[in-house]
Amino acid sequence: MTDIRSEVEPLDPADPLARQEQTFPKLNDEMISIVRAFGQEEAPGSGELLFERGQRSVDFFVVLQGYIEILELDLAGVPHLLRLIGPGQFTGELYLLNERQTLVSARAGVATHVIRVRRADFHRLLSSEPDVAEILMRAFILRRVGQILHANVGVELAGPGHSGDTLRIEQFMRRNGYPYRLLDTESDTDAAAFLNCFDLSEDQLPVVVLPGKVVLRNPSNTELADGLGLIEALDPEKIYEVAVVGAGPAGLAAAVYAASEGLSTIVLERIAPGGQAGTSSKIENYLGFPTGISGQALASRAQIQAQKFGARLAIARTVTGLDCTAQPYRLEVDEREAVHARSIVVASGARYRRLELQNYDRFEGNCIHYAATAMEARLCGGQEVAVVGGGNSAGQAAMFLSKGARHVQIIIRGSGLAATMSDYLAQRIANSPKITVRPYSEITRLDGDRLLREVSWTDRRTGTVETHAIANLFVMIGAQPNTEWLGGCLALAARGFVRTGSDMEGRALSSPFVTSRPGIFAVGDVRSGSVKRVASGVGEGSVVVQAIHQYLNPSIA
């Protein structure tokens, strides 16, 4: 039997597979005896499958003697040896924290003895043995990072690199930490052979190919999540103490604190953990990360943390309704399933209003901004920029940006700023030689490569199109709360955000996050009057748990 470690030995020290001692550590005798207390010893036959790719709820194994082969399946469904797990080493990866499908299979070697820890006992082990848990968790994370880096246990996404659907699918897998290989059919020389092999024509792209030649043609996010085994069954009989709707920073914080304080917790998220922050390439103002952290990295850490404490994270699940007439509350999921909970945290956030333009997705997050802080202003030094919108936020952004930018164009559909902006701001803008207001105008075109290079707008009165070399566009046309699923259960403020706390006249206030319904709380961007920032969302999600305790157990409040 060859040890494939020599074949895959990476040279890059940043690659987790290069950090063998942490990625594939050996438990010492003391730790093995701790694990033994949670499982039982077995001697599987040589070649016996311990678990198979695609299986859910698999057990955890520590090798005492012999070895376990970890196998990946290629697209044709043929197994290949990925790694050998030897004495003192253990199987497992992030799938041990949830009910999603495993990405690999495991087969016992010759004369092998193992400790098998069943799933429920494994969770007990994690929560009661922090020293062992730390080693296991670090290894699981590094293993997943290695899989993403090497894309050796994933699936193949094939499609034109510039297609919106290719980007959507790629973004879904990336944000959910699912390993994949991308074959850009616009530029990859292997594209023709690939299409031929899977009998596909270009008009059927993009496709996702799973092991065993299973082809998903331009799947929706839900179809994709289903195909990848990311969707977990919901138990309609179970009554959770807390159901969190939305896994942005606020929802994830609520889940970590609720689960760590022993409340049975489920989080329902329609796309992927991270919310709006998950789309930010670098958050520089979040406490404790002086060099910044990508929203996705922050979200995946929080997701793992929540799952470690026992929270259920159901992703690619959209809450489509709320029945607040009976207790426990009933959340309708994907219009056909139900989750019951005694308390609910509304953390469904908001989405900034976007412009319906070709190429918009490509530039969003790096060249299209929804806030004008010092960070964004730095990108615009000495350049021309455009701000879309005629409200106060657009006015403030234009004034602020004009300090460093060469020129600021304000694009508005109306005749002027008087009706939509505070007078003092409109006056300052009128007096600034560095700001030009473009009335009756709409952005009609965005051009560039990886980055935005040109912005065009059309004057609707004359039809005149102007194109300027602009690399940063600020879209300040308001945010829209994700509250459509609330179905009239909660009092909303004028622009549809959820009213809470002191905003709720006539209610005894136990917390600033109470809504108009007992046991339903709102945190983060969805809450009327909240500060729309990652740190404030995390703060609100963390402290709301105290109010939930008081609501669930009034006697100990």
Ligand X SMILES: Cc1cc2nc3c(=O)[nH]c(=O)nc-3n(C[C@H](O)[C@H](O)[C@H](O)COP(=O)(O)OP(=O)(O)OC[C@H]3O[C@@H](n4cnc5c(N)ncnc54)[C@H](O)[C@@H]3O)c2cc1C
Cβ nearer to ligand X, comparing 536 with 546: 536
| Segment interacting with ligand X, rule: CB under 6 A, options 102-110, 231-239, 275-283, 549-557 | 275-283
Asked if residue 349 lies in contact with residue 246, where contact means CB atoms within 8 angstroms, the answer is yes
Residue reference for tokens 């199109």:
465
Angstrom distance (rounded) from CA 212 to CA 190? 20
Cβ nearer to ligand X, comparing 219 with 249: 249
Cβ nearer to ligand X, comparing 283 with 399: 283
Q: How many CB atoms lie within 10 A of CB 212?
A: 14
Angstrom distance (rounded) from CA 410 to CA 428? 13
Cβ nearer to ligand X, comparing 21 with 335: 335
Contacts of 242 (CB under 8 A, 6+ apart): 254, 258, 263, 264, 265, 266, 341, 342, 343, 344, 345, 545, 548
Q: How many CB atoms lie within 10 A of CB 56?
A: 15
| Segment interacting with ligand X, rule: CB under 6 A, options 71-79, 113-121, 468-476, 534-542 | 534-542
SS3 502: helix
Residue 368's nearest CA partner among 452, 457, 466, 276 is: 452
Q: Which residues pair with 441 in a beta bridge?
A: 459
Asked if residue 504 lies in contact with residue 515, where contact means CB atoms within 8 angstroms, the answer is yes
DSSP strand E in 118-184: where? 155-159, 180-184
544 lies in the binding site for ligand X (CB under 6 A): no
82-141 residues in contact with ligand X (CB under 6 A) are: none
Cβ nearer to ligand X, comparing 58 with 293: 293
Q: Locate 246 and state its tokens.
A: 């939305």
Bond preceding residue 206 cis, omega within 30 of 0? yes
Among 365, 404, 439, 478, binds ligand X (CB under 6 A): 365
Among 207, 302, 313, 350, binds ligand X (CB under 6 A): 350
Sign of the torsion formed by the C-alpha atoms of 246, 251, 252 and 255 = negative
Bond preceding residue 79 cis, omega within 30 of 0? no
Cβ nearer to ligand X, comparing 23 with 348: 348
Contacts of 73 (CB under 8 A, 6+ apart): 53, 79, 80, 105, 211, 212
Angstrom distance (rounded) from CA 265 to CA 341? 9
Q: Which residues pair with 217 in a beta bridge?
A: 207
Kindly determine how many residues on this chain lie close enough to bind ligand X according to the rule CB under 6 A. Answer: 36
508-527 residues in contact with ligand X (CB under 6 A) are: 524-525
CB of 286 to ligand X, least distance (A): 6
Angstrom distance (rounded) from CA 28 to CA 88? 7
Question: What type of residue is 526?
Answer: V
Quick note: the x/- pattern for ligand X over 308-347, rule CB under 6 A, is: ----------xx---------------------------x
CB of 530 to ligand X, least distance (A): 7
Cβ nearer to ligand X, comparing 49 with 451: 451
Quick note: the x/- pattern for ligand X over 191-230, rule CB under 6 A, is: ----------------------------------------
Per DSSP, helices labelled H in 336-391 are 360-363, 374-379
| Segment interacting with ligand X, rule: CB under 6 A, options 14-22, 66-74, 273-281, 456-464 | 273-281
Among 532, 543, 546, 550, binds ligand X (CB under 6 A): 532
Cβ nearer to ligand X, comparing 450 with 463: 450
- Burial 189-204, CB ≥16 within 10 A → b, else e: eebeebbeeeebeeee
CB of 542 to ligand X, least distance (A): 12
Among 126, 268, 344, 398, binds ligand X (CB under 6 A): 268
Among 156, 269, 384, 503, binds ligand X (CB under 6 A): 269
Q: How many CB atoms lie within 10 A of CB 124?
A: 13
**DSSP 8-state class, residue 500:** -
| Segment interacting with ligand X, rule: CB under 6 A, options 22-30, 271-279, 389-397, 543-551 | 271-279
CB of 280 to ligand X, least distance (A): 4
Cβ nearer to ligand X, comparing 137 with 473: 473
473-512 residues in contact with ligand X (CB under 6 A) are: 482, 485
Secondary structure (DSSP) of 210-252: ETTTEEEES--HHHHHHHTT------TT-EEEEEEE--SHHHH
271 lies in the binding site for ligand X (CB under 6 A): yes
CB of 372 to ligand X, least distance (A): 12
228-247 residues in contact with ligand X (CB under 6 A) are: 245-247
CB of 285 to ligand X, least distance (A): 5
348 lies in the binding site for ligand X (CB under 6 A): yes
Among 537, 544, 545, 551, binds ligand X (CB under 6 A): 537
Cβ nearer to ligand X, comparing 27 with 347: 347
Q: Which residues bind ligand X (CB under 6 A)?
A: 245-251, 268-271, 275-277, 279-280, 283, 285, 318-319, 347-350, 352, 365, 370, 482, 485, 524-525, 532-535, 537
